[in-house]
Amino acid sequence: MPKSPTLYRLAADRQYHKIPLRLQTNPEDLLWTDRYGSTALHILCQVRNVDKGLLAAVDAILEKAPEQVSWANIASWTPLHFAVEKPLVWRSSDTYSTALILRLIRACPAAVSQRTKGGFKTKTPFHIACEAAADYKVLKAMLTINPSLATEPYSKRDAYSLIENPIQALWKAHLHLSQSGFSGSSMHQAEKKMALLLQAAHCGTVTFANKERSFRILNAVCAVRCPRDYFARILNDHVDDVRLPDEKGLHALHYAVRSVSADSQSYTEFVLEALLSVFPQAAALRDDVGRLPLHVAISSTFLQWHRGGLRELTLAHTDALRTPDPESGLVPFLGSAEGAKKSRMHLSTTYELLRAAPDVTLMLHSDTETVAA
């Protein structure tokens, strides 16, 4: 039989009880789309007041065609995008709304990573779920499928998530709801969700089946770009962890200098200053391959003296200026000179490092004479 818009109209008219029967007699109606490319499932997932009848209708569709969860309309939105879009404040029946989303995820796990295609920001359902302060169960179900979603940038041109990432979006959404006086958004819920995203980002999993890795939230916020007020909150609550190494022998400062990008140095400066104000001795601690934080900051992440926290890192442990990097064999000012080939800012950094320890040149001259002899 040819497909007809009957199923679509039943969904639009909210005659949910008729949908299962229609599917039994006319399953071909599932293929009918409107001029925007939307199916009956798209329409059902846009309904704000989810009830048992709607869930039964969705179950009937998913039983016949679970792949429709990933079908995109002309705007490149899938039913899952629409289902998670509803902000927490609009959900009159949050339990049913969460149940709907979880049904869609189970039916088609691949849909959680499917991006929209229009505009500067291209969003997965997970991005939208974070913007809407979605239920903890929803976020965990998505991250169980794809943990990398926790730090997935909105745009490929924003590879380091400088503009916004899901972690920032989730915190912003909860702050907005909290300031609006919405009782369904407590800071306890927000912190629980943030910890979930950070665990996915830092450990690559949201389950505790992997016993080999422990999760220390302070290290996670140092390794991932977070809202500054949230970072300050975690540092205040877990200040003693700054002094404690993890199972790899790494401290929070090691993670901070490893995670910086060349385009986010002002944020890194904020993090390094905060950590060093609590435990400046961390600047003298080597990582798991024997490198000091200054070595990593100069040779691997290319921090600059005047922007990025390199000055503070140097002054916290000046002996590092005279210590060769075990990876390159170069003392810090020579390591910086390598980067100076590409940027005048690195030339300025090289000058400041040499100025802070001019005796390094005498050491190098002495070593050269020894080798020559």
Is residue 231 domain-resident?
no
List pLDDT tens digits, range 251-308.
999 999 998 765 677 888 999 999 999 999 999 999 999 999 999 998 866 788 888 8
**Domain region containing 274:** 248-373
- SS3 per residue for the chain: CCCCCHHHHHHHCCCHHHHHHHHHHCHHHHHCCCCCCCCHHHHHHCCCCCCHHHHHHHHHHHHHCHHHHHCCCCCCCCHHHHHHHCCHHHCCCHHHHHHHHHHHHHHCHHHHHCCCCCCCCCCCHHHHHHHCCCCHHHHHHHHHHCHHHHHCCCCCCCCCCCCCCHHHHHHHHHHHHHHCCCCCCCHHHHHHHHHHHHHHHHHCCCCCCCCCCCCCHHHHHHHCCCCHHHHHHHHHHCHHHHHCCCCCCCCHHHHHHHHCCCCCHHHHHHHHHHHHHHCHHHHHCCCCCCCCHHHHHHHCCCCCCCCCCHHHHHHHCHHHHHCCCCCCCCCHHHHHHHHCCCCHHHHHHHHHHHHHCCHHHHHHHHHHHHHHC
Q: Indicate the number of domains in the chain.
A: 1
pLDDT at 183: 53
- Residue 307 forms part of a structural domain: yes
- Evaluate whether residue 367 is within a structural domain: yes
The confidence score (pLDDT) of residue 266 equals 82
Domain assignment present for 290: yes
137 domain-assigned = no
pLDDT of residue 357: 87
At 301 the pLDDT is 66
In a domain, 340, yes or no: yes
For the question of whether the overall pTM of this predicted structure is more than 0.85, the answer is yes
Kindly report the CATH number assigned to the domain that includes residue 254.
1.25.40.20
The answer to whether residue 209 sits within a structural domain is no
pLDDT reported for residue 95: 86
pLDDT along the chain (373 residues), means of 10: 86 97 96 96 94 97 98 96 76 77 98 86 92 94 97 69 78 83 69 95 80 78 92 97 94 92 77 96 96 90 81 94 92 84 74 88 57 37
Q: Kindly state whether residue 53 falls inside one of the protein's structural domains.
A: no
